[in-house]
A and B are shown apart, each in its own frame.
Chain A
Amino acid sequence: MVEILERLGHRVECPEEIACCGQPPFNSGYWDEARAIAAPVLEKLKAAEAIVIGSGSCGAMVKTFYPELFAGTRYEDLAKQISSRTWEYSAFLVNKLGETDLGAKFPHKVTFHDGCHGLRELGIKSAPRALLGNVGGLELVEMKEDICCGFGGTFAAKFPMISTAMGEVKCANAAETGAEYIVSGDSSCLMHIQGLLSRQGKAMKTIHLAEVLNQR
């Protein structure tokens, strides 16, 4: 991600202090604890012209949920400003920079998993496909349904049986496409899917969209 943005001529900063956007406590209902993590994040991002996040889930947290989390606090305005400058990575490349061909080559058959936060909170569907469409040698085969992989953050640990069942459906849908790789813009979905695939000894692999786009 960093290398691609730099090749396109942008200066990339990565504030080292930022470790987490605060989504785990937010989604569990602990909003005070979430603000304690999110407020320093806002401060660190203040100076950026654009904030690019390589995850639809963390992206939705900053873009969609920060304004809600900080409503009525002294961070409200800052949260709204940061929200308006925040982009999920593929949407930034396609919709903000107008770049769809990054000269990447990845001669494999792949399928794309839409992370639900990116898909439904941020409305990202066409941008990653536009990018993959220009990757040399890549064949994209769509799965038959847009359905959640079952990760869902703490849900995966609180209700592992449901999360696993949902993941099995996802893996079966992906296997039906005959793809070698499941590509996604969300590492957390991929961690869950890869965890299931590895445990079941499946050959199919997962890879983040940015890694595909950086293959030369």
Chain B
Amino acid sequence: MNIFVSEFKRRAAEKTADLRHRQFIRSALRGYEAARDKRKGAFQSWESARQAAAETKWDAINHLGTHLESLVSKLETRGTKVHWASSGAQARDIITQILRDKNARSIIKSKAMTSEEIHLNEALEHAGFKVVESDLGEFIVQLRHEAPYHIVFPSMHLTRGEIRELFQRELGDAPSDNPEDLTMVVRRVMRQKFIQADVGFTGANFAIAETGMISIAENEGNSRLTSALPKTMITLIGIEKVLPRFADLALFLPMLATAGAGQMMTCYNTMYSGPRQPGEPDGPEEWHVVLLDNRRTELLADPEQRDALHCIRCGACLNVCPVFRNVGGSTYGTTYSGPVGSVITPHLRGLQDWKHLSNASSLCGACTEACPVKIDLHHHLLQNRRNASASKPAFFERLAYTIFGMVANDPKFWWLAKKLAWLAQPFQNLAKGTAVDPAKAWTKTRDLPPMPRETFKDWWRNRT
């Protein structure tokens, strides 16, 4: 068992045993689900909107090359410097180099999962830069030296009391655990950081090929400050974030906000089309856009699972996933958790190391039903399982299925197996759930049904 699997199982056992955590996460995520269902009513037809969004993303991804060329040429026309990074390491190098060229010391960041994906903060801190996350949830997990718990709600696993304790310890201030008070503490700290920062760093929700714009949806206004105050702005985007037309945002912005957070729209929606132009009063003097591949093109080359690139990182599949609701986000050990994380992590970080995430699913399909861009998530988990077994079969598992097939295909063997199970049952009952019980994975927490003396097939044979 590789370390990723054993760690996943260890954390899953720990989190599922923590009833308070389970209750807390479940009720929070059910809250988002309920809010989403309420907001869906604002769409004339949510199902038609999903279909339209899926078709737009098919166009975007199937003609990714053309759309990217258009995006880049429009961005460059207005003076944006565009960089291509084929790997995380290359993106980190590009960003570090820009910071060195600018003699920067301090960087203010707004929320970007792509930066988590390439472990940017660690790299920048290692290179001697001071990095501050400005999104409230991200700021909290940064203070705790943790990865975000959920792709949209990074610190949802913490109570107000825990956050207050953290602020008292790390910031020396937190008069109460009232959300307004906690926010004011952060605001005071954060305004200073914004003013001091040499460079602002953002992610992006969408990139518009037609107009050469980056769209950022947020609720705190921190992304706007990140782009408005420092002289230099850097934006890191996964290449799959492209949408063909500006008008597509009319669907995707409300869809993103509704599907994940149950909001009609996020509070702040900004479109960036370039650095400060002559005569403009504000905006960064220099804007660098880094386009990140990091194995996305390998996923693009897989016709079966290409639609996983449709993902708009709304978090809807995490919110409804019964596995996520019970094990929580940190159990996954990945940047992208939940169903979409289980689908794409094996592609981004290696199938054999991360295939267990595709196995850790009951394949219930709640994710596929929730996905606003109709990614066939739970079937992709099945395909990952097939690809993993085909490229590196587990010896005993394959042997077990071969023997199972021989028994299932031969009525005499099948009859014998049933009789043996019937005979073995009293002994199995004695060992139930203990270390010597061969069925202990089941019987530790569950009883087995009693083997009937007369099976259905006995009954069938006897009546005819």
Total A-B contacts with CB atoms under 8 angstroms apart: 158
**Which residue of chain B has its CB nearest to the CB of A25?**
B401
Q: Are A29 and B405 in contact (CB under 8 A)?
A: no
Contact with A along B414-452 (1 / 0, CB 8 A): 100000000000000000000000000110111111000
Which A residues touch B280, using CB under 8 A? none
Q: Are A29 and B408 in contact (CB under 8 A)?
A: no
Contact with A along B125-139 (1 / 0, CB 8 A): 000000000000000
Q: Are B323 and A162 in contact (CB under 8 A)?
A: yes
Which one of B26, B362, B389 lies within 8 Å of A116 (CB-CB)? B362
Which one of A40, A150, A161 lies within 8 Å of B12 (CB-CB)? A161
Q: Are B22 and A165 in contact (CB under 8 A)?
A: yes
Question: A20-B408, A160-B442 are contacts. A30–B398 as well, Cβ < 8 Å?
Answer: yes
Which one of A16, A154, A162 lies within 8 Å of B457 (CB-CB)? A16
Q: Are A28 and B447 in contact (CB under 8 A)?
A: no
Measured in the bound complex, the distance between the Cα atoms of B401 and A27 in whole Å is 11
Contact with A along B10-25 (1 / 0, CB 8 A): 0011001100001000
Which one of A17, A26, A160 lies within 8 Å of B441 (CB-CB)? A160
Measured in the bound complex, the distance between the Cα atoms of B217 and A167 in whole Å is 37
**Which residue of chain A has its CB nearest to the CB of B433?**
A199
Measured in the bound complex, the distance between the Cα atoms of B376 and A120 in whole Å is 12
A195 within 8 Å of B (CB atoms): yes
Q: Are A196 and B397 in contact (CB under 8 A)?
A: no
B221 within 8 Å of A (CB atoms): no
Q: Are A194 and B449 in contact (CB under 8 A)?
A: yes
A198 within 8 Å of B (CB atoms): yes
Q: Are B401 and A33 in contact (CB under 8 A)?
A: yes
Which one of A27, A152, A153, A161 lies within 8 Å of B16 (CB-CB)? A161
Measured in the bound complex, the distance between the Cα atoms of B389 and A153 in whole Å is 17
Measured in the bound complex, the distance between the Cα atoms of B442 and A194 in whole Å is 12
B205 within 8 Å of A (CB atoms): no
Contact with A along B449-461 (1 / 0, CB 8 A): 1000000010011
Which B residues touch A22, using CB under 8 A? 405, 408
Question: A30-B393, A40-B409 are contacts. A25–B16 as well, Cβ < 8 Å?
Answer: no
Distance in angstroms from B76 CB to nearest chain A CB is 45
Question: A116-B362, A159-B360, A166-B362 are contacts. A199–B447 as well, Cβ < 8 Å?
Answer: yes
A78 within 8 Å of B (CB atoms): no
Which A residues touch B442, using CB under 8 A? 156-157, 160, 195
Which A residues touch B389, using CB under 8 A? 28-31
Measured in the bound complex, the distance between the Cα atoms of B325 and A18 in whole Å is 38
Which A residues touch B196, using CB under 8 A? none
**Which residue of chain A has its CB nearest to the CB of B358?**
A29
Q: Interface-forming stretch among B105-113, B116-124, B379-387?
A: B379-387
Q: Are A116 and B364 in contact (CB under 8 A)?
A: yes
Q: Are B398 and A159 in contact (CB under 8 A)?
A: no
Which A residues touch B327, using CB under 8 A? 162, 165
B173 within 8 Å of A (CB atoms): no
Distance in angstroms from A43 CB to nearest chain B CB is 11
Contact with B along A57-79 (1 / 0, CB 8 A): 00000000000000000000000
| A-B contacts, 16 listed (Cβ < 8 Å) | A16-B411, A28-B397, A29-B388, A30-B398, A33-B401, A33-B404, A36-B405, A120-B368, A151-B362, A152-B362, A152-B364, A154-B359, A155-B359, A158-B360, A165-B22, A195-B449
A-B interface, 4 closest residue pairs, ranked by CB to CB distance from nearest: A152-B362, A195-B446, A29-B389, A29-B385
Other than the given A146-B366, A153-B363, 11 more pairs (CB < 8 A) read A20-B408, A22-B408, A25-B404, A30-B389, A33-B405, A37-B408, A116-B363, A120-B365, A147-B366, A148-B362, A194-B449
